[in-house]
């Protein structure tokens, strides 16, 4: 099983991951609709991608009164069933990574690893010369990587 891993100090705050995630899921470039979020840490003077870690024991799923969140044992992905979600936001408060986002319309936005090919990883680039969010970074160091769980 693979999961996302954040490599500290490689994020340059370009927000390409947010833009491409929102494009994939909402059809528009709008960071407010992304399942990944880039935050600036003034104490450390660095940017950090914030994304679901698909925990082995997901606190978000444990507190969900509607059982809208569940861990798929085959893939390791913690999934959200929007049909069951009551928008109570208990999952948002329970997430230890602060990785569940709320869209402007109040719906829950949660990473599902894009079915095993995360868009944020494909478009993450620490290289400033990559100025277009439409240019994927096929090689080189990135802040977001897709790795085997436990690696």
Range of 122's domain? Answer: 2-148
Instruction: Look up the pTM and report it.
Output: 0.82
How many domains are contained in the chain? Answer: 1
What is the structure's pLDDT at 142?
Answer: 64
- Long-range contacts of range 18-22, CB-CB < 8 Å, 24 or more positions apart? 18/120, 19/123, 19/133, 20/119, 20/120, 20/122, 20/123, 20/133, 21/119, 21/120
What is the structure's pLDDT at 7?
Answer: 77
DSSP string, 81-114: -TTT-----HHHHH-TT---EE-TTS-EE---GG
Residues in the chain with pLDDT values less than 50: 127-139
What is the structure's pLDDT at 128?
Answer: 42
Task: Report the CATH number that the domain containing residue 90 is assigned in CATH.
Answer: 3.30.70.20
What is the structure's pLDDT at 139?
Answer: 46
Residue 2 phi/psi, 5° resolution?
-105, 155
What is the structure's pLDDT at 132?
Answer: 39
What is the structure's pLDDT at 64?
Answer: 98
User: Please, are residues 51 and 35 in contact by the beta-carbon 8 Å criterion?
Assistant: yes
């Amino acid at each position: 099983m693979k999961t996302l891993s954040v490599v500290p100090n490689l994020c340059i705050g370009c927000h390409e991951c947010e833009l491409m995630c929102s494009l994939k899921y909402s059809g528009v470039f709008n960071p407010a609709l992304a399942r990944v979020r880039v935050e600036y840490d003034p104490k450390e003077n660095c940017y950090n991608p914030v994304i679901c870690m698909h925990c082995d024991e997901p606190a978000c799923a444990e507190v969900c009164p509607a059982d809208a969140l569940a861990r798929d044992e085959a893939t390791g992905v913690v999934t959200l069933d929007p049909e069951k979600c009551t928008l109570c936001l208990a999952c948002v408060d329970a997430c230890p990574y602060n990785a569940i986002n709320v869209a402007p319309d109040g719906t829950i936005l949660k990473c599902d690893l894009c079915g095993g090919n995360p868009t944020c990883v494909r478009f993450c680039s620490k290289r400033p010369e990559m100025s277009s969010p439409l240019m994927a970074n096929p090689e080189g160091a990135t802040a977001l990587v897709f790795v085997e769980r436990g690696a």
